[in-house]
Amino acid sequence: MSFLKIESLEFKYPKGPTILSIPHLSLEEGQGLFLYGPSGHGKSTLLNLIAGVLAVTSGEISIGETKLHQLSAGKKDKWRGDNLGYVFQQFNLIPYLSIFENIMLPCQFSKERKLKTSDKEIHELIERMNLSSFIHRPVKDLSIGQQQRVALCRALVGKPKLLLADEPTSALDEKNTTELMNLLKEERAKNQLTTIFVSHDLRLKPYFDIHHSLVDLNQSKLSDSKMEAQNV
């Protein structure tokens, strides 16, 4: 049975056109999906649907035993807190909190996550991410590459079942990108972590098992009109 299953998904923002129309997408546990596509093609929207931040207009999203499209907003929040790691393009760290405090944030929102980790494990993760020397420093004083590694630690804390990453390397230079991608690959392998990574940067493809173009996957008119606009 697939770990993640999307069937007949349709999504539109209120009063807008249909942005996404995805007949089928599935992923086995532990697989890493690289979903690529130019800006404005619904990559962030799709991740927000899979995270349960947005609700599908119609269709189904199942993750493990959970039918996300059937949960109430409150239950979705709890499910997200317990099961999901999310790395954002702009990190979304809290600037005046230390590395350690930022990494521990998901455990404050989820008892389940807190129970699945320990101080020892968190320190080991910080060590693997080469962040040990700065652990009590406010994150605003770190380099961009270090901040994104903190964001990755925060997403991984408490062993989430699913990791979503929304263009997490777009603010990084090549050296920091390579470092982050290698660390991500190691952590994924260690924990059999199912991952969906979206980006417009095709150089990142080799780090993942499965690759899909969102333009091909998406049957909505958005794909056609945007592509035509680009070809003019």
Binding site for Mg ion (CB under 5 A): 43-44
In this chain, which of 16, 65, 175, 231 binds ligand ADP, going by CB under 6 A?
16
19: partner contacted, choices Mg ion, ligand ADP, none (Cβ within 5-8 A by kind) = ligand ADP
Do 100 and 136 touch, CB atoms closer than 8 A? yes
Report the nearest approach of ligand ADP to the CB of residue 38 (Å): 7
74: partner contacted, choices Mg ion, ligand ADP, none (Cβ within 5-8 A by kind) = none
What whole-number distance in Å separates Cα of residue 180 and Cα of residue 195? 14
The DSSP code for 218 is: -
Write the single-letter amino acid at 232: V
Question: What is the maximal distance between C-alpha atoms in the chain?
Answer: 56
Do 182 and 102 touch, CB atoms closer than 8 A? no
Q: Does 45 bind ligand ADP (CB under 6 A)?
A: yes
In terms of CB distance, is 53 or 105 closer to ligand ADP?
53
User: DSSP readout, 211-231?
Assistant: EEEHHHH--SHHHHHHHHHHH
- Residue 132 tokens read as 């040990």
In this chain, which of 44, 57, 178, 219 binds ligand ADP, going by CB under 6 A?
44
**Nearest-5° Cα angle at 100, 99 to 102:** 65
Q: Does 17 bind ligand ADP (CB under 6 A)?
A: no
Size of the site for ligand ADP (CB under 6 A): 11
In terms of CB distance, is 46 or 93 closer to Mg ion?
46
- Residue 50 tokens read as 């899979």
- CA torsion angle for 136, 150, 106, 35 (degrees, to 10)? 180
Q: Does 19 bind ligand ADP (CB under 6 A)?
A: yes
In terms of CB distance, is 44 or 178 closer to Mg ion?
44
Do 14 and 219 touch, CB atoms closer than 8 A? no
Report the nearest approach of ligand ADP to the CB of residue 231 (Å): 17
In terms of CB distance, is 147 or 199 closer to Mg ion?
199
Q: Does 13 bind ligand ADP (CB under 6 A)?
A: yes
In the complex, the residues that contact ligand ADP under the rule CB under 6 A are: 13, 16, 19, 37, 39-45
